[in-house]
């Protein structure tokens, strides 16, 4: 978990971070009886948040939203407010892209206008 967290926060070694977080999820599922239900969901939500953050840092916005958006409520329930705020900012930045009708109709999370996203980030 710590390797993945470091990779997500430092924006370096994304492949190693994704591998370590995937291994951590496997270990969580293998040792599910060692955790209470709440602890298990807390750890799983935090791990998936870091996976989504790594995808966001790699500018793979489709997979970032795919991982981050479903766990927003879990982050709130687990009281990870700092991570929740960061996740909400990432999702809103992705959704602020200029989607055209075709993109929304056929693939809601398709990101045809990545240049616009880079311009938004530069303005921040």
Count CB-CB contacts under 10 A for residue 51. 24
* Cβ 66 vs Cβ 94: under 8 Å: no
Give the Cβ contact number of residue 89 at 10 Å: 12
43 confidence band (pLDDT: 50, 70, 90): very high
What digits encode the pLDDT tens for the residues 81-97? Answer: 999 999 999 988 888 76
Number of folded domains that form the chain: 1
Task: State how far the Cα of 34 lies from the Cα of 36, in Å rounded to an integer.
Answer: 7
> Any idea what the CATH number is for the domain that residue 44 is in?
1.25.40
The position carrying tokens 């916005």 is: 61
d(CA 71, CA 54): 15
Q: How confident is the model at residue 120 (pLDDT cuts 50, 70, 90)?
A: low
C-alpha 43/C-alpha 26 separation (Å) is 12
How does pLDDT run across 56-90, given as a tens digit for each residue? 999 888 888 889 999 999 999 999 999 999 999 99
pLDDT value for 49: 95
Residue range of the domain that includes 97 = 2-123
């Amino acid at each position: 978990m710590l390797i993945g967290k470091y990779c997500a926060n430092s924006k370096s070694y994304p492949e190693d971070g994704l591998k370590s977080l995937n291994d951590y999820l496997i270990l969580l599922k293998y040792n599910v009886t060692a955790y209470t239900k709440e602890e298990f969901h807390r750890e799983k939500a935090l791990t998936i948040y870091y996976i989504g953050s790594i995808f966001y840092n790699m500018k793979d916005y489709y997979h970032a939203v795919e991982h981050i958006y479903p766990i927003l409520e879990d982050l709130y329930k687990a009281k990870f407010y700092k991570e929740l705020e960061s996740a909400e900012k990432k999702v809103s930045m992705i959704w602020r892209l200029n989607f055209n009708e075709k993109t929304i109709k056929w693939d809601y999370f398709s990101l045809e206008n990545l240049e616009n996203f880079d311009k938004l980030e530069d303005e921040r």
